Amino acid sequence: MRKIKAEPLTAEAFAPYGTFTDVMNPKGYHIGGEFHDFYRDQAKFYAESGLPVGLSPLVVRNHGYVVEAVEWHNHTCEAMMPVSGDAVMHVSLASGGYDVGQTKAFIVPKGTIITLFPAVYHLTPLPIDADELHALIMLPERCYINDFLSMDLDEESRFEIVF
């Protein structure tokens, strides 16, 4: 089984898959006043549907790091933020078919929101060093019905995330 080493989340390494910002430690240009600082447009989210965006809690129980399936959305981004602890997230670029050789895994620190571009293969964030992970997912309303595709990976395409 192929092993994919989880790597730190950096703007350069993650750029082909989406954007991110550390909500707990924002940096960069901001506007504000005496009692607030607003770091505008730090992570980008696109949706062709025009539907309202839903914010959905996700709880993932730790079941190890072997990945046997992927999902993707053809027409919308998906945003995810681990709330209760650090997570690991695997991604792969859109192509004519899933290619495990293109897969990367990133360590997403607690409180960091990532936005995946449309058609990026992924699955749920996985907890690191915890029994479960609480995360916030942002998708257009009913995207999980209207723009959700998934695929079980064959034996050759399955992989394990290692640290």
Q: For residue range 67-123, what is the model confidence (pLDDT) as tens digits?
A: 999 999 998 999 999 999 999 999 999 877 889 999 999 999 999 999 999 999 999
- Evaluate the CA torsion angle 67, 107, 8, 140 in order and state its sign: positive
Q: Which CATH class is domain 2-25+41-162?
A: mainly beta
- What gap in Å lies between CA 139 and CA 115, rounded to an integer? 10
Provide mean pLDDT across the span 41-70. 86
> What pLDDT is attached to residue 49?
67
pTM of the model: 0.91
Tell me the two tokens of residue 116. Answer: 């995946």
- Evaluate the CA torsion angle 103, 108, 112, 64 in order and state its sign: positive
